Amino acid sequence: MKFRMALVVVSLLLSIAIGLMLGRRGALPASRSGGGGDAPIVIGLSMDTEKEARWQKDRDVFTARARELGAQVKTQSANSDDTRQIQDVKSLLANHVDVLVIIPHDGDAMAEGVREAAKAGVPVIAYDRLIRNCDLDLYLSFDNVKVGEMQARYLVEHLPGGKGRIVRIYGAPTDNNAKIFKQGQDQVLAPLIARGDIEVVHEDWATDWDSANAKKIMNAALTRASSGFDAVLASNDGTAGGAIQALKEAGLAGKVIVTGQDADLVACQRIAAGQQAMTVYKPIQNLATRAAELAVTMARGKPVIANGAVANGQKDVPAVLLDIVSVDKDNLRQTIVAGGFHSEAEVFGAP
Ligand code: GAL
């Protein structure tokens, strides 16, 4: 009898410990499958957009891995509209998802979505982009400060003598990542700007990361900086593409260093053709696969192992941050092709 009582006490303490480790409010979710029920786990995936190629890949890899683990995925895409994304989250919660994975359009606005999930006892993973000022359970991304540092360092290392005039195109001002990329870029550039080695002749933010907005910024820079410039610090491949379109029209494509990130196929093709200098490869396969595994673990009320913590304005959010790779024409094959992200024929053209 004593042994049985001890067993009950131990299992009770363990489930409380698991709940506390997940930062869960009160009991485990009253979902159909939380804690190992028979019904399949249902994951809610709330996306900002499916516009960029990378998000389509994130969605497909995530869904495939979740299904391998026996979970269902209900996906909603908000087309970069905050009101729509809050509604998407409420709809997923009304459909009794066991865990929410959110790619926020606006890292501040989506705090409301996390609060709604908290009311329903549903854990939330912020996917690739942090959600601020809320009791977020887990943040899964890459080291985004390092992304910015890599972009700026590549640019400085490839400017003659590490000196020159540059244009800076930041991402969406609504996206916390865009601010973190800039933070990383600033860590490299600030001392060089201070001593006059680097001059920023024009800078602006590309709303919603839209390549058309990046092209407008580039055209404004071409007009304003009549004496020219040596490089464009574009914060991702979509904005790099818009900038390169403007440079092409000005007869400057391939003559100006342009950075990027995401290793989009079109960007890799531009790198192979000498029109874009570099991109930062963030293995989506790793991110999306890990996200599906973490979502299933959390839905079952089991503890997850974070490898860091990121302050979100309300708490230090447990974080899992994955590695990244700088890619240019010298290592395109060894990274992108060898890693199976894009094929040799896709990047370099069929032989
Ligand atoms: C960011 C993301 C980047 C970039 C951008 C475009 O949050 O970290 O990979 O591509 O979104 O959607």
pLDDT tens per residue, range 187-207? 999 999 999 999 999 999 999
Residue 2: the pLDDT is 57
Nearest CA to ligand 1 atom 7: 177
Q: Across residues 324-329, what is the average pLDDT?
A: 97
- Name all residues whose Cβ lies below 6 A of ligand 1: 52, 54, 128-129, 171, 175, 177, 209, 236, 238, 261-262
Q: For a ligand 1 pocket test, name from 211, 262, 281 the mutation site with the most ligand atoms within 8 angstroms of its C-beta.
A: 262
Domains of the chain, earliest start first: 4-136+284-322 (3.40.50.2300), 144-282+326-348 (3.40.50.2300)
**235-248 pLDDT per residue, tens:** 999 999 999 999 99
What is the CA(36)–ligand 1 centre distance, in A? 35
What is the CA(171)–ligand 1 centre distance, in A? 8
Residue 4: the pLDDT is 54
**Rounded CA separation 62/40 (Å):** 16
What is the CA(261)–ligand 1 centre distance, in A? 8
Residue 25: the pLDDT is 39
Q: Which atom number of ligand 1 is nearest to the Cα of residue 144?
A: 8
What is the CA(236)–ligand 1 centre distance, in A? 7
152 within 8 A of 182, measured Cβ to Cβ: no
Q: Across residues 334-344, what is the average pLDDT?
A: 95
Give me the phi and psi of 151, to 5 degrees please. -60, -50
The SS3 call for residue 223 is: helix
Structure letter (DSSP) for residue 252: -
Give pTM, 2 decimals.
0.86
Q: Which atom number of ligand 1 is nearest to the Cα of residue 175?
A: 7
Beta-bridge mates of residue 140:
127, 320
**127, containing H or E segment:** strand 124-127
What is the CA(59)–ligand 1 centre distance, in A? 14
Contacts of 89 (CB under 8 A, 6+ apart): 44, 46, 76, 100, 102, 110, 113, 116, 117
Q: Across residues 243-265, what is the average pLDDT?
A: 97
Give the residue from 125, 48, 64 showing the smallest Cα distance to 285. 64
Residue 350: the pLDDT is 75
Q: For a ligand 1 pocket test, name from 177, 179, 265, 266 the mutation site with the most ligand atoms within 8 angstroms of its C-beta.
A: 177
Give me the phi and psi of 116, to 5 degrees please. -60, -45
Pick the range with the lowest mean pLDDT from 23-27, 34-38, 43-47, 293-297. Answer: 23-27
Question: Residue 144: how many CA atoms within 13 Å on its side-chain side?
Answer: 22
